[in-house]
Structure 1
Amino acid sequence: MEKRKDILVDDSNELEFINGDFAVGNSDIQHIDHIIIAQKGEYKQTPQMGLGVINYLKSNTDKSKFQRDVRIQLNYDGYENPNIDLSEGFERLKIEI
């Protein structure tokens, strides 16, 4: 899959600027972060997209269900066969696309 480019945001989700203009660059990690954090229905164009990770952290979800749900959500945005690593727990989730 070709790397995606988009307007970038910083760790606080504030727009990044370079020389007074929007910063543009590789945005795959940013897209994945937003999908993982978003609740279902937050994306108007794709209402089924959004994992809502906070709901998983507050529940007793098993790793295989969590991995399956992450994979489904990333597939909605075109990320096929992501490698989802939970070997260090939910808080240290690693995703390779």
Structure 2
Amino acid sequence: MKRTDYMLNDNFTFQIEDGDFVRGNAAHQHISLTINTHPGEDRFSPTMAVGASRYINSSTDRLNEMLLKIKSKVSQDGFKVKKVYLDEDGCIRVNAE
């Protein structure tokens, strides 16, 4: 799914080129923000967040809970989620359109 929005850099601040804000396909950015933002941090969508950092060093059951929560929240944001998993390095991977 293509989502045009203002782009953020790795520090979650706006990208600026030639003195102007950069716009682009922000689908990956939307999913990343949903995963990394904690509930209540976004005043416009306070429940649209997972807070993945709360699951660091968690049990398998808690990690599975997080993956289900990611799938649910990303789906609520309008994406068709095919698969959510942890790769061999422990990174969260989301296959969605």
1:38 CA displacement: 0.7
Q: Which residue of 2 aligns with 1:13?
A: 12
Number of residue pairs aligned between Structure 1 and Structure 2: 95
* Structure 1 consecutive aligned stretches of length 4 or more whose deviation exceeds 3 Å: none
Identify which range, 37-46 or 19-28, moves more after superposition: 37-46
Q: Secondary structure at the match of 2:8?
A: coil
Cα separation, 2, equivalents of 1:34 and 1:81: 16
Identity of aligned residues (%): 27
1:61 CA displacement: 4.4
Classify 1:14/1:87 alpha carbon distance in 2 versus 1 (closer, same or farther; 3 Å). closer
Alpha carbon RMSD of aligned pairs, Å? 1.7
Identify which range, 79-88 or 45-54, moves more after superposition: 79-88
1:80 pairs with 2:80: yes
Cα separation, 2, equivalents of 1:54 and 1:64: 14
Structure 1 counterpart of 2:74, one-letter code: L
Gaps of 5+ in 2: none
Q: Secondary structure at the match of 2:81?
A: coil
Cα separation, 2, equivalents of 1:87 and 1:12: 24
Q: Which residue of 1 aligns with 2:43?
A: 44
TM score, norm. by length of structure 2? 0.83
Structure 1 counterpart of 2:54, one-letter code: N
Q: Which residue of 2 aligns with 1:70?
A: 70
